[in-house]
Amino acid sequence: MSGQDIALLLHLLLFAYWLGGDIGVFYSSGFAVNPKLSRGARQAAGTIMMNLDLIPRLCLSLMLTVGGILTHYYGIEHPLWQMIGIILLGPIWTFTLIYIHFNEGTDLVKKMTKIDYYFRWIMVFTLIASVTYAFIYTDRLAENPWVGAKLIVFAALIFCGIMIRKYIGGFITGIHNIVKDNINEADDIAMAASLAKARIFVLTIWFLLFVEVWIGVVKPGS
């Protein structure tokens, strides 16, 4: 198996686990917000949802590294500094997300979470700017314009994740209150409203993942 085969296999597995994990999170969230279920059942559903959500986040963090390496095999040249950045991005981001997940509530994690939030915004604008620059001022993507399209869609995926984080706060607060056995009707309403706002972006992520796969298979413009 060649290096390209390995990179392509990892790329496909990341998409599969991302979508599969997201579906699991989506499904379990319905049980967590159901006030007719027992406290224990809702707590279990919320715990499953929060832990399962780590998988899509890790897939996102690794995607640019694996995808960047894969583009090398398609003939897109990267300066040494850029390739080093591509290779280091995934492992560092993945380690950060794992640390945040398993050390929630500490002062360090609160700071890391805020840094991660702003880093995602930086990634959105950087991806859009770099693709725009590549198309207008260089010919790097002339033979593989579909790579630029995938990067723009990926920027949209990160943006959707940011929006989910923005609207999911009421749901998270409700889960914590369930654990403390301090849930009330107002919390239930807030949880449902929070989840409803976030779900549109979850569904958008599913659609965008389909678009990403379609672009990768068809490679329009190549």
Q: What is the pLDDT of residues 160-201, one digit of tens each?
A: 999 999 999 998 888 888 877 788 888 889 999 999 999 999
pLDDT tens sequence across 3-39: 899 999 999 999 999 999 999 999 999 999 998 998 8
Angle between the N-to-C axes of helices 169-179 and 145-167, in degrees from 0 to 180, rounded to the nearest 10 = 50
- Give the count of beta carbons closer than 10 Å to the beta carbon of residue 94: 17
Q: What is the dihedral of CA 29, 31, 34, 36, to 10 degrees?
A: -170
d(CA 129, CA 151): 11
Spell out the domain ranges in the chain.
3-218
pTM across the whole model: 0.93
Torsion over CA: 166, 88, 81, 133 (sign):
negative
Give the chain's end-to-end CA distance (angstroms, integer).
Answer: 25
